C-alpha cells in the first residue's frame, strides 16, 4: 500500500454510518447537486434502486423525482444507515414511496423491474463486483439504466476501469461517461 492509498483511505472497508454525515451536507450541493445529476435519468413513476444510500443524500431527491407513482428501494448492509435514512425521509415528507432493504442485491424480495440503479461512491467497497453487478442487472428491466460513480481521489482510474470491465462482462452496455464533479462516472444500459 502506497502513501496515496493511506492518505485517500483506499483499501477494503465499508464506510461507517457516522462518516456518512460528512458526505451529506449543504456544501456538497455546490459541486454535486443531486437533482442536476439524476434528473436526466429518472422520471416520474420509475422504480429506482439506490445502492449504499448512506443517509439519503441522493435518496431524498430520487423520491421527489419518481413522485407518488414511483418508488425508491434503498439497499444497504448497515441497519443504522437505513434507520437514519427512514427518519430523514419521514422528516422531509417523502417516505411514502421509500422501501428500505437490508441485505444484498440477490435477495429474493428485490424488485425485478427497476428502471434505474444508482451506485454512488460505494462499489469500491464490494469484494466481488462482478457478482454484485450481475445481481443488480437482474433487477433492471430491459432498457433500464445503471449509473456507477466513484470518488476520483479515493478510487484510482485503473480500479474504476476494472469496475467498468466487470459491468461489461455481466452484459451491461456502456452508453455514456457523464461528468460529475470530483468523480468518475459511467452510465450503463441493460439491453
The least confident of 55-59, 114-118, 182-186 is 55-59
Alpha carbons 130 and 112: distance in angstroms, whole number:
18
User: How high is the pLDDT of residue 25?
Assistant: 66
CA 50 to mean position of chain CA atoms: 5
User: How high is the pLDDT of residue 10?
Assistant: 43
Nearest of 132, 87, 80 to residue 106 by alpha carbon: 132
Architecture of domain 12-190: 3-Layer(aba) Sandwich (3.40)
Q: pLDDT tens digits for 133-190? A: 999 999 999 999 999 999 998 899 999 999 999 999 999 999 999 999 999 999 999 9
Instruction: Say whether pLDDT at 106 is over 90.
Output: no
Q: Domain extents for the chain?
A: 12-190
Amino acid at each position: 500500500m502506497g502513501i496515496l492509498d493511506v492518505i485517500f483511505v483506499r483499501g477494503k472497508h465499508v464506510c461507517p454510518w457516522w462518516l456518512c454525515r460528512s458526505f451529506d451536507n449543504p456544501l456538497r450541493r455546490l459541486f454535486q447537486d443531486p437533482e442536476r445529476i439524476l434528473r436526466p435519468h429518472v422520471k416520474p413513476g420509475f422504480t429506482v434502486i439506490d445502492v449504499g444510500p448512506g443517509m439519503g443524500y441522493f435518496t431524498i431527491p430520487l423520491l421527489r423525482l419518481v413522485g407518488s407513482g414511483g418508488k425508491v428501494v434503498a439497499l444497504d448492509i448497515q441497519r443504522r444507515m437505513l434507520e437514519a435514512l427512514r427518519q430523514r425521509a419521514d422528516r422531509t415528507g417523502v417516505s411514502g414511496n421509500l422501501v428500505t432493504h437490508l441485505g444484498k442485491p440477490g435477495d429474493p424480495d428485490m424488485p425485478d423491474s427497476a428502471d434505474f440503479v444508482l451506485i454512488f461512491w460505494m462499489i469500491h467497497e464490494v469484494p466481488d463486483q462482478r457478482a454484485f453487478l450481475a445481481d443488480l442487472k437482474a433487477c433492471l428491466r430491459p432498457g433500464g439504466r445503471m449509473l456507477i460513480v466513484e470518488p476520483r481521489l479515493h478510487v484510482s482510474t485503473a480500479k474504476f476501469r476494472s469496475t467498468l470491465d466487470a459491468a461489461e462482462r455481466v452484459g451491461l452496455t456502456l452508453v455514456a461517461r457523464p461528468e460529475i464533479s470530483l468523480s468518475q462516472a459511467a452510465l450503463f444500459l441493460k439491453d
